[in-house]
Structure 1
Amino acid sequence: MDVLDLARTQFAVTGGLHFLFVMLTLGLAPLVAIMHTRHVMTGAPVHERMTRFWGQVYVINYALGIATGLVMEFQFGMGWSGLSHYAGDVFGAPLAIETLGAFFLESTFLGLWIFGWHRLPRWLHLACIWMVTLTAYLSAFWIMAANAFLQNPAGAVERGGRLVLTDVGALLTNPMLTAALPHVIGAGLWAGGFVMMGAGAYRLFTGTDDREFFSRSLRTGVVTALVGSLVTVGFGYAQLAPVLEFQPGKFQGSPLAGIGLGFMVLIGQILQLALMFVLAPTVYWLPRWRWAHPILMLITPLPFLAAILGWLAREVGRQPWLIHGRLTVADAMSPGLTSGMVTASLVAFTGVLGLLAVVDYALIVRTVRRGPDAVALGAFGPVESAGHVPVSAH
């Protein structure tokens, strides 16, 4: 492989690993917020336990996913300085807004939610997790806006050898964005639902004293995955019109892009048919059917695989352009890079990010195995000391 192929491989590997974390974040955030809402409104202990348990899974995935996202940011400057020079004024704007206006807010509200148990008033505490969800989706919007610009550089013109933003509205209503964003959000819900379903099936199959808790988790996962599948598949097909308009040869020019699209559609359609005609109609009885639980566990990773194949089709099909019709991948690569330099960083990044993915999986599995009674999130009571009264007591 030459240095260009190595650089492309590096970004593809790190981007793919990072997206695995993103999918679960987008899928679990609204589910945890809904569980917390039910707890606040009803006061039922089961809803508090579900909020804390699945909230801890969310926090584990979020914390480890941060490091993978930082690697992505560094690569733009290290490996693709040509992109920054030519289109940084346009492409960098949504990335900067995502980092400063969405990611930092998301982290702040998540911190308040994590440490606010038994300290903040319950409605304020609830508002924190909904703000986490809102800002997570805002992050997805800005990232997808930046990616859509690479697919179709709307709202920008070239002046003095560089792209200049002339129409913010066109950038934010890019046809390559409007259908792709709901498609990604639906995929996140699909993945989050399958994780809940698979975890519930695992605990019910291996034996648990908390059958009601994991039966609820399994059923919630199936229903969430059904909703996510309908959104994903519907907006997946809705993307075909803008793709055919702006990139008519997207899936013919690369055998690889076509293969990725084909397998993504195959996995998605099979899973959706299974959800619609097998799992959803029998969701009430599924927790009792021990023979079905290994099948549910085996299919849990499939939405993640389908998502990676979808990104492969979206990105590879744009080649040889980094910004379609404006900047090639070769021209975007940083000058002076050697095969040895890129290989070394590829091995390092893959090793670190791969390790983070393994640790994420191991910690989530350990949390599932230990069950809701061993969860640390929100387990401590109000902080009471001489002269101090917990905020929630006011």
Structure 2
Amino acid sequence: MSAADLARLQFAATTGIHWLFVILTMGLVPLVAVMHTRAAYTRDPVKRAVRERMTRFWGQLYVINYAVGIVTGLVMEFQFGLSWSGLSKFAGNVFGAPLALETLIAFFAESTFLGMWIFGWGRLSRGVHTTLIWLVALTAYASGYWILVANGFMQHPVGYEVRDGAAYLTDFGALLTNSSALVALGHIALAAFTTGGVFLLGISAWHLARGTKETELFRGSMRLGAWVAMVASFFVIIVGELQKPIIERTQPMKYAVMEDSGVAEAQRRLVEQHGPGDYVPPEGWIHLSMDSMTIIGNTISTIALIAVILLWKDWLVRWRPVAYLMTAMIPFAFIASIGGWVVREVGRQPWLVYGELSVEDALSPVGRTSLIISCTVFIAVFVGLAVTNWTLITRYALRGPDATQLGAPEPLPDDDLPEQTPDGADPVGQPVHAF
């Protein structure tokens, strides 16, 4: 493998693994916020207790994913300097600000709000505590927006001018309203909701099929997950189609490969614009990723619709094979999202910034041996973190609400234990042995 291939492999592997954390975070946090809101403003004490346990259970799974995932996010931006210094030199003046804002939001604002929400159980008022989880959800999507603003410039550079071999921002508004970023954000948000809904549906169906005692808790979670997955998976397909005219206009070669027509004509036009070269991206990767995303997306949408229908009279739980099918569907939502990411990134090759900066020109002057070592270490660490994350999530998901520690009341210290009565009995009348 060449140095460029190693650098691309490193960034693709680390970004792809990091994306698995991001898609679940964005999909799960608004659902946890809905659960918390319902629990906080339910008057019936029995229903409120069930909904609070529901919030704590799913909230703990979210916190695990966020805590491990944020470690993978810490190194992402450093790779621009490690392997892609040419990109930083050319486009750093343009997307440096969006990346800085994303860092401030994700690693400061979002983490702060989440920490206050975690430690606020029993300490903050109902309104403040509920507001905090909604702020976590808002900052999560704001973070995604700023990342897509930076990525959107790489897909379709706007609002800039090139001086002395470097791009300089001339229109911040054009950068913020880049259609390549905004429509993609809608598509990603709906994909995240689909993933979160499938996650809720699958785990809840598994517990109910095995006869859990937390029937009301998981029945409510299953209903929420089924409806969210059905609606989001339907619209994610529609918004995905809305991206095609944008791709056709801004990246004609990617569109030609996706549609499997007009590749030669697109190659001819690009040669006229940018000079001799091979501008055809890896067709096999694009077709495989596009087909995987499309087939899985349509399958999830169909199964989610069936799940909503089977909610009537608890047929979804009574037919155990169907319930286990919902559980088996969980990983496919992640596979589909990875497929979409591959299409977006691979499809603009050989450009890193489309029409302006090629992959070869963006590569840092780093030796092949150094790249082999860094690629191996980065991928090994990221795979280890992913395995750790899903091991913890699986363990706590299978244990159920009884193993939930988030928001659990702290045990009283010895000094706060009830005093003994004079006759050697505790306040409830049980004998106490003297030492």
Please, what TM-score do these two structures have when normalized by structure 1?
0.94
Which of 385, 395, 400 pairs up with 1:366? 395
Amino acid at match of 2:64: I
Amino acid at match of 1:94: P
C-alpha distance in structure 2 between counterparts of 1:53 and 1:274, whole Å:
25
Task: Assess, with a 3 A threshold, how the Cα gap between structure 1 residues 382 and 135 changes in structure 2: closer, same or farther.
Answer: farther
Match of 1:124 in 2: 128
The reply on whether 1:281 has 2:309 as its aligned counterpart is yes
8 Å Cα contact 1:119-1:382 kept in structure 2: no
Alignment of 1:241-320 (within 5 A): 241-251=245-255, 252=257, 253=280, 254-255=282-283, 256-276=285-305, 278-284=306-312, 285=314, 286-320=316-350
State the Cα distance separating 1:102 from its structure 2 match.
4.5
C-alpha distance in structure 1 between counterparts of 2:189 and 2:412, whole Å:
38
Alignment of 1:1-394 (within 5 A): 1-43=1-43, 44-251=48-255, 252=257, 253=280, 254-255=282-283, 256-276=285-305, 278-284=306-312, 285=314, 286-335=316-365, 337-380=366-409
State the Cα distance separating 1:315 from its structure 2 match.
0.5
Report SS of the residue matched to 2:252. coil
Report SS of the residue matched to 2:157. coil
Amino acid at match of 1:14: T
Please, what TM-score do these two structures have when normalized by structure 2?
0.85
Amino acid at match of 1:380: P
Report SS of the residue matched to 1:116. coil
Match of 1:390 in 2: none
8 Å Cα contact 1:103-1:136 kept in structure 2: no
Q: Which moved more, 1:55-64 or 1:191-200?
A: 191-200
Identity, % of aligned positions? 49
C-alpha distance in structure 1 between counterparts of 2:168 and 2:311, whole Å:
53
RMSD between aligned residues? 1.8
Amino acid at match of 1:181: L
8 Å Cα contact 1:15-1:72 kept in structure 2: yes
8 Å Cα contact 2:204-2:218 kept in structure 1: yes
Q: Which moved more, 1:266-275 or 1:156-165?
A: 266-275
State the Cα distance separating 1:240 from its structure 2 match.
0.5
State the Cα distance separating 1:91 from its structure 2 match.
1.6
Task: Assess, with a 3 A threshold, how the Cα gap between structure 1 residues 92 and 268 changes in structure 2: closer, same or farther.
Answer: same
C-alpha distance in structure 2 between counterparts of 1:263 and 1:359, whole Å:
26
Amino acid at match of 2:346: V
State the Cα distance separating 1:221 from its structure 2 match.
1.2
- Ranges in structure 2 where 5+ consecutive residues have no aligned partner: 258-279, 416-435
Amino acid at match of 2:334: F
Amino acid at match of 2:10: Q
C-alpha distance in structure 1 between counterparts of 2:212 and 2:106, whole Å:
39
Report SS of the residue matched to 2:161. strand
Q: Which moved more, 1:13-22 or 1:212-221?
A: 212-221
Q: Which moved more, 1:266-275 or 1:135-144?
A: 266-275
Amino acid at match of 1:246: T
8 Å Cα contact 1:103-1:135 kept in structure 2: no
Amino acid at match of 1:311: W
State the Cα distance separating 1:385 from its structure 2 match.
12
Q: How many residues align?
A: 385
8 Å Cα contact 1:60-1:363 kept in structure 2: yes
State the Cα distance separating 1:198 from its structure 2 match.
1.3
Task: Assess, with a 3 A threshold, how the Cα gap between structure 1 residues 223 and 4 changes in structure 2: closer, same or farther.
Answer: same
Amino acid at match of 1:348: V
8 Å Cα contact 1:190-1:224 kept in structure 2: yes
8 Å Cα contact 1:203-1:368 kept in structure 2: no
Amino acid at match of 1:197: L
State the Cα distance separating 1:62 from its structure 2 match.
0.1
Amino acid at match of 1:143: I
Task: Assess, with a 3 A threshold, how the Cα gap between structure 1 residues 383 and 75 changes in structure 2: closer, same or farther.
Answer: farther
Task: Assess, with a 3 A threshold, how the Cα gap between structure 1 residues 32 and 348 changes in structure 2: closer, same or farther.
Answer: same
Report SS of the residue matched to 1:163. strand
8 Å Cα contact 1:182-1:231 kept in structure 2: no
Amino acid at match of 1:69: G
C-alpha distance in structure 1 between counterparts of 2:105 and 2:131, whole Å:
18
C-alpha distance in structure 2 between counterparts of 1:111 and 1:200, whole Å:
26
Select the structure of larger CA radius of gyration.
2
8 Å Cα contact 2:209-2:318 kept in structure 1: no
